[in-house]
Structure 1
Amino acid sequence: MPELPEVETTRRGLGPHLEGHIVRSATVRQRRLRWPIDRGFEKRIAGAEILRLERRAKYLLVHTDRGCAIWHLGMSGSLRLVEADCPPEKHDHVDWTLDSGLILRYRDPRRFGALLWTGGDPVAHDLLSHLGPEPLSDDFHGDYLFQRSRGRRQSVKTFVMDGRIVVGVGNIYASESLFLAGIRPQTPAGRISRARYWRLADAIKRVLARAIDDGGTTLRDFIGGDGKPGYFAQQLNVYGRAGDPCPKCGASVREAVLGQRSTFFCNRCQR
């Protein structure tokens, strides 16, 4: 699933090719995504100037002079720029034809993504209004996590994966961050000290920043906006490495299930 670094990579890759350009027309071949694409969408976007691209959590916000398109890549979605004569394939559901002659094409084999439109502030949209702070912002730090965790019995891993607490810390990045912080993922969130939460917040920032710099995690269904795959998967310490030696102590990496998601950790290094 495309996570925060993959969406940020997409934003950075597409931004220079979209901002300041006009959407000449839009073609919707499949409206039945996670939520149906509104039948008036093509008319709303046609002729609009793209002002800027932003990211909020895993949502890509395409601001225009008429409103804002809210894109979510779901489990298998990707956005890429193609030449005008590039024929669409089976899972290519949406095209935006730009005044540059290029086409912004949305592909989504599983159709769990979404393309929505709002004429107001997208941050106030029902999908975004309840979200927690961005993990790379100054609002996210150890004191914040410590205060929000008091009295909580859920595992610390599911706690930091809750978008109402902090956005964009998906399964891969939660496992990697907890490993760097030396915190066992099963530990109840309410039992972790303030000092350890400062280490965890710092680890989350470092892991996500490195993933963004490296182009996102290479997963089967994701290709970056520039057509290049990400490379962060080559640097994973524990995720997907059950049975392999821990890069710190050499003990076998273990696997468990938390919140119906696979979790990877070192039983020696994480307490």
Structure 2
Amino acid sequence: MRTLFRPQPPPPAGTTSEALEVSHVALGHPSSRTGEILLAVHDLDFTVARGEFVVIVGPSGCGKTTLLEALAGLVPVHDGTIRLAGRELRGPGTDRSLVFQNASLYPWRDVVANVEFGLQAQRRLDAAGKARAREMIRLVGLEKAERKFPHELSGGMKQRVNLARALVTDPSVLLLDEPFGALDAQTREVMQNELVRVWQAEGAAVRRTAVFVTHDVGEAVFLADRILVFSPSPATIRADIRVDAPRPRAPEWKRSPEFTAIGDRVLAGLAAS
């Protein structure tokens, strides 16, 4: 099994049209009893174009989070390769940011200090870095709350901070692991709209690649350019469904026949034996 190496610098820009190339990848964990590798995903093979928004859906425990952690460089690849802009990933890098369901904000830091943390850890918290942190806070709509502490924020506001913190280091790939799963239905819908707004804000020429994991089929259809449907563990890809609806997508689109038809295709993929 491969081992992890020290963090990598970003790959050179413009080397390939695929931001991510996942080639016949198997991921797993050793059994504590036998030491045998228990596969979480098996023979995953897909690419993600630069600026594409890909959503992964699948049953609980099928390896979705394990894949995101591998894309982030946090777990080793058992077999196959993962490449970013043509270069094999062997560890974490500043070119990727991972957003979890739990915002995990530092309770002793206010909004500004939490957003600045990634830049501080990378020793990039100069005047330009501080200005960028405030730009990201404005982008997620928290400029009036920048001196509040986490205990003073709602769940949706905490996830806005989480998103700003992920974006402030300027990653080329944004990895999101059910970031709205703990929110109530109304706040979740607001945050779906906000995520798409923020993702599109910088324009198509510099738009980040996004890989988003969810259990919510409606959320997947609303957010995605493509939906990858995973089988039960060890996961393989059951369906690769393109969502061709133009952006921006109004909330009313969720009640359209087209939206329902795409959702039915996802559900059929999930139900396949």
Q: TM-score, with normalisation over the residues of structure 2?
A: 0.29
Structure possessing the higher radius of gyration over alpha carbons:
1
* Higher RCO (CA-CA < 8 Å; seq separation 6+): 2
* TM-score of the two chains, using structure 1 as the length reference: 0.30
